[in-house]
């Protein structure tokens, strides 16, 4: 329940902030160009709060459905306008000025992303280095001669100081042409190149969370000994006499080398009794362990009610910190915003051509879940999440779809070419097409959310 509440609050805060930034872009540029703003509203539907303020009165409102917002401008097409204010109506502006107002919303989303990344880099963000864990035999990675503990230092000539940088670079290369050139540093310190070539359908590589598994890679994990940490008082481990600090050596005569191996052993033996050899206070001894059970979505698994005794900072060898001065952070922020924008556009284009999985389209449920997780992970993670969603919001609104800013900009460009406004009939047809496209997009997004929840 706490996780759901955290996700809901983080979602409302994130979406409200990003929508406010977007709409403020329209508001700010319209006011600077002398266009009358009638209403600034966050949310859709019936207003639950409103207030009129300012020398040039504007109604500020909050509506019941927190999934968007709008800025209402004075416009003769939406109602009568007093003669002395006609020059302040949106429709009376030149196409160039109208485009400036329409484009300001997405532009402010990109500026917000830069600001979020800048703050993240100034305060510092701890990230994982792109060090490879296990490599599946005869996988794409293995055929490219990638081996365990290789560190990816460049992808297609671009430096990759973090795991995310490497993943995004590899994904971009696969989306582009199915070939990626990696510069890797091996465990021996030697640098070499590895070329990954993808044949056939590329969509499976672009499904959420599937890039490394399909390539045959795992990210590096520390090797943790099977030493017992906290023991739940009412668990079967405590009932059998297992204590914190016990080191599991063998189970039913099988050597147990890592905590992961121990977990797999226990999970595979629900409601059974096994013989352990453990080391306690430097002395070896044997004992019987009764393994309990837990019913999960995937079936019955073994459970004993004991956690691992983790060493201090187990991920220390693969951690890196990205921290820059005020000026350098600005350059990094602009670069990150640009690269994420380019990748997003590639993904959208390749989704249309069928080369990228439509499962990447996320709806409000998945976004809320991501908002909650990143908010719980700390400021840097939440800022990164806000930046990515802000970029996506900016690009989405620039698509040439009627009802979106990009579609309205297309109308203005058409007017500049033909010398007269697009006919009302054409705009009405465009709106109907836009509604259908947005409903289709929303349907796919909600379907993906439901599949993720039930899978």
Please tell me the predicted confidence (pLDDT) of residue 118: 97
Q: Is the pLDDT reported for residue 79 higher than 90?
A: no
Q: Is 316 in the same domain as 209?
A: yes
Residue 305 in domain: yes
pLDDT in tens, 232-272: 999 999 999 999 999 999 999 999 998 888 999 999 999 99
Domain count, the chain: 3
Among 310, 333, 355, residue at a domain's last position: 310
What is the average pLDDT across 159-188? 90
Asked whether residue 299 falls in the same domain as residue 355, the answer is no
Q: For residue 210, is pLDDT > 80?
A: yes
Kindly give, in sequence order, each residue whose CB lies less than 8 Å from that of residue 308, ignoring residues fewer than 6 positions away.
224, 226, 227, 228, 229, 259
Report if residue 205 sits inside a domain.
yes
Query: Tens digit of pLDDT for each residue in 374-408?
Result: 777 788 889 999 999 999 999 999 998 888 899 99
Residue 129 sits in the same domain as residue 272: no
In a domain, 104, yes or no: yes
pLDDT value at residue 102: 96
- Per DSSP, 358 falls in state G
pLDDT of residue 8: 79
* 164 and 202 together in one domain: yes
From 261, 290, 322, the end of a domain falls on 322
Residue 118: count other Cβ atoms within 10 Å of its Cβ.
22
Which residue, among 381, 394, 376, has the nearest Cα to 340 in the 3D structure?
394
Contacts of 252 (CB under 8 A, 6+ apart): 274, 275
Same-domain status, 237 and 379: no
The distance of Cα 186 from the centroid of its chain, to the nearest Å, equals 30
Average pLDDT score, the chain: 88
Question: According to the model, what pLDDT value does residue 445 have?
Answer: 65
Local confidence band at 13 (pLDDT 50, 70, 90 cut-offs)? confident
The verdict on 252 and 368 lying in the same domain is: no
Compare 424 and 161 and report the one with higher pLDDT.
161
Of 173-182, 205-214, 322-331, 420-429, which one has max mean pLDDT? 322-331
Instruction: Look at residue 123 in the predicted model and tell me its pLDDT.
Output: 93
**Which pLDDT score, from 0 to 100, does residue 9 have?**
84
DSSP string, 76-144: GGGS---GGGGGGSGGGS-HHHHHHHHHHHHHHHHHHHHHHHHHHHHH-EEEE--BEEEE-TTSHHHHT
pLDDT band at 286 (very low <50, low <70, confident <90, very high): very high
Reported confidence tier of residue 129, pLDDT bands at 50, 70, 90: very high
Residue 451: per-residue pLDDT? 60
Residue 141 lies in a domain: yes
Answer whether residue 317 shows pLDDT above 80: yes
Q: What is the pLDDT of residues 325-348, one digit of tens each?
A: 999 999 999 999 999 999 888 888
Residues 291 and 195 in one domain: no
Of residues 305 and 178, more confidently modeled = 305
Q: Please report, for the domain that includes residue 136, its CATH number.
A: 2.30.42.10
pLDDT at 429 over 90: no
Model confidence band, residue 2 (pLDDT cutoffs 50, 70, 90)? low
Tracing tokens 């001065």 back to the chain, one arrives at 325
424 and 349 housed in the same domain? yes
Domain-embedded: residue 146: yes
Instruction: Say if residue 453's pLDDT is above 60.
Output: no
- Report residue 62 as tokens: 């909050």
List, by residue number, the catalytic residues: 23
- Helix axis angle, 379-398 relative to 2-32, nearest 10°? 50
Same domain, 136 and 216: yes
- Alpha carbons 344 and 46: distance in angstroms, whole number: 34
- Based on the fold, state whether residues 330 and 432 are members of the same structural domain: yes
Q: What residues have CB less than 8 Å from 229, skipping those under 6 apart?
A: 244, 306, 307, 308, 309, 310
- Regarding whether 441 and 372 lie in a shared domain, the answer is yes
Q: What's the domain range around 276?
A: 228-310
Which of 289, 322, 355 terminates a domain? The answer is 322
Asked if 120 contacts 412 with a C-beta cutoff of 8 angstroms, the reply is no
Question: Is residue 76 a part of any domain in this protein?
Answer: no
Q: Which of 393, 429, 402 is nearest to 111 (CA)?
A: 393
In this structure, are 332 and 209 located in the same domain? no
The torsion region of residue 132 among left (phi > 0), alpha (psi -120 to 50) and beta comes to beta
Angle between helices 379-398 and 364-377 (to 10 degrees): 150
**Lowest pLDDT segment from 214-218, 303-307, 312-316:** 312-316
Is residue 20's pLDDT more than 90? yes
Task: Inform me whether the pLDDT recorded for 17 exceeds 90.
Answer: yes
Does residue 405 belong to any structural domain of this protein? yes
pLDDT greater at residue 434 or residue 412: 412
Mean pLDDT throughout 12-28?
A: 93
- The verdict on residue 15 lying in a domain is no
């Amino acid at each position: 329940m706490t996780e759901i509440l955290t996700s809901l609050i983080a979602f409302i805060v994130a979406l409200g902030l990003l929508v406010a930034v977007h709409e403020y872009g329209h508001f700010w540029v319209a006011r600077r160009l002398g266009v009358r703003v009638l209403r600034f509203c966050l949310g859709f539907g019936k207003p639950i709060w409103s207030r009129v303020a300012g020398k040039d009165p504007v109604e500020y409102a909050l509506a019941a459905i927190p999934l968007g917002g709008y800025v209402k401008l004075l416009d003769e097409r939406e109602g009568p306008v007093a003669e002395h204010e006609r020059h302040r109506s949106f429709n009376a502006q030149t196409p160039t000025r109208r485009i400036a107002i329409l484009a300001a919303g997405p532009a402010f989303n990109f500026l917000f992303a830069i600001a979020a990344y800048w703050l993240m880099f100034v305060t510092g963000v701890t990230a994982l280095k792109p060090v490879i864990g296990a490599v599946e035999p005869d996988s794409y990675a293995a055929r490219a001669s990638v081996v365990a503990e290789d560190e990816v230092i460049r992808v297609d000539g671009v430096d990759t100081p973090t795991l995310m940088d490497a993943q995004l670079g590899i994904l971009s290369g696969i989306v582009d042409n199915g070939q990626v050139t990696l510069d890797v540093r091996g465990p021996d310190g030697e640098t070499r190149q590895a070329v990954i070539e993808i044949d056939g359908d590329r969509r499976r590589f672009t499904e959420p969370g599937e890039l490394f598994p399909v390539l045959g890679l795992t990210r590096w994990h520390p090797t943790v000994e099977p030493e017992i940490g906290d023991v739940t008082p009412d668990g079967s481990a405590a009932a059998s006499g297992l204590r914190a600090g016990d080191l599991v050596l063998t189970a039913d005569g099988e050597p147990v080398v890592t905590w992961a191996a121990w977990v797999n052993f226990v999970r595979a033996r629900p409601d059974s009794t096994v013989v352990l050899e453990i080391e306690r206070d430097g002395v070896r001894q044997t004992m019987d362990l009764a393994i309990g059970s837990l019913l999960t979505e995937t079936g019955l698994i073994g459970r004993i009610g004991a956690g691992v005794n983790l060493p201090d900072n187990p991920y220390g060898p693969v951690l890196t910190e990205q921290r820059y001065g005020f000026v350098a952070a600005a350059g990094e922020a602009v670069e990150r915003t640009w690269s994420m924008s380019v990748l997003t556009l590639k993904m959208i284009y390749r989704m249309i051509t069928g080369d990228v999985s439509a499962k990447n389209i996320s709806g409000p449920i998945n976004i809320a879940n991501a908002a909650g997780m990143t908010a719980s992970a700390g400021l840097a993670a939440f800022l990164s999440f806000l930046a990515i969603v802000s970029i996506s919001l900016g690009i989405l609104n620039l698509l040439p779809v009627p009802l979106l800013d990009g579609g309205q900009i297309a109308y203005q460009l058409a007017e500049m070419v033909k010398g007269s406004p697009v006919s009302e009939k054409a705009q009405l047809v465009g709106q109907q097409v836009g509604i259908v496209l947005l409903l289709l997009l929303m349907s796919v997004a909600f379907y993906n959310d439901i599949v993720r929840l039930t899978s």
